[in-house]
Amino acid sequence: MKPAEFGKVAVMFGGDSAEREVSLKSGAAVLAALCAAGVDAYAFDPHDQPLTQLREGGFARVFIALHGQGGEDGKLQGALDLLRMPYTGSGVLASALAMDKWRTKLIWQASGIPVPDYALLDARNSSAATDFAAIEARLGLPLFVKPANEGSSIGISKVSQPGGLAAAYAEAAKYDPLVIVERFIDAGEYTIGIIDVAGVLQALPMIQIVPAGEYYDYQAKYLRDDTRYLCPCALPETRQKELAEQALKAFAILGGRGWGRVDLMLDKAGSAYFLEVNSAPGMTDHSLVPMAAKAAGIGFGELVLRILEGARFG
């Protein structure tokens, strides 16, 4: 499509989630790239702009650069469906499932996609005492503890010492009542970006993430400059192809469309364990999908235009 054919575009970013600051950076980058390409694009922050202004303002489609709850969990997508307003990324069901790490795991397990061993804790079940020591013993240390419905590594802790699970659980429960306790996979973190090319989902080059600290936390993702990203990664081409096919399957099983990112870990034996899908990945200067697209010869401006071209509702 030519830039003028997109019509008036709302770049939706900001919002009210715990990931607002990241979203502001993503949205600003997307907006600048669209404007530079000649698209009639405008900032739209649902924090202070009601969605009814989309129709009143004559917008033709929405580029979703919101992260976290209320932006990529299916709620916004449902509202835009009712408005019959085309938007980027996955629809209601896939967005809701991808945001929910627990239900993602259930679907993947039923579909043969390997996931790390885990336990689910529910802060709403106050009548049952949690045996943290038993969970530590069953899953082993270290452990990762994370809110089931949050992103950008918000609320995540690594538990390395016996007795540390209770405090990590309390921190994660600040962000979501459902908390995942996950067995640590010890050999490396990888990510695979996915984009729609002429109606067919394709995997971008695989990236290996090598944080300078203990793990890939919020600081490593967005603020530190010493995190290393290996793209192309050192895995054999045949193994990368196998993992890309698994990532595409994992994304499609949830109903993903348009674009996204699949995160996974490898253990020392080379076995893969899939962690989650991000249905509205970051687009900041530290973000992984733009990095992988660049390795595939797709510049940032071309990437956002491709994503916008795939906007749809329903």
Catalytic residue among 15, 19, 61, 95: 19
Burial (Cβ within 10 Å: 0-12, 13-18, ≥19) of residue 141: middle
DSSP H or E run through 105: helix 101-111
Burial (Cβ within 10 Å: 0-12, 13-18, ≥19) of residue 26: buried
Catalytic residue among 100, 261, 279, 287: 261
Catalytic residue among 20, 263, 279, 287: 263
Closest CA to 246 of 268, 273, 270, 269: 273
Is 263 labeled as catalytic in the residue annotation? yes
- Cβ atoms within 10 Å, residue 279: 31
Spatial separation of the C-alpha atoms in residues 44 and 61, rounded to whole Å: 12
Catalytic residue among 169, 276, 306, 310: 276
Spatial separation of the C-alpha atoms in residues 193 and 42, rounded to whole Å: 26
Is 149 labeled as catalytic in the residue annotation? no
Catalytic residue among 149, 152, 153, 157: 152
The two beta strands, 40-44 and 272-278, are unpaired
> Six-digit token pair at 19?
């990931």
Catalytic residue among 222, 256, 258, 279: 222
Is 278 labeled as catalytic in the residue annotation? yes
Catalytic residue among 282, 287, 306, 310: 282
Is 26 labeled as catalytic in the residue annotation? no
Is 224 labeled as catalytic in the residue annotation? no
Is 261 labeled as catalytic in the residue annotation? yes
- Residues with catalytic annotation? 19, 152, 222, 261, 263, 276, 278, 282
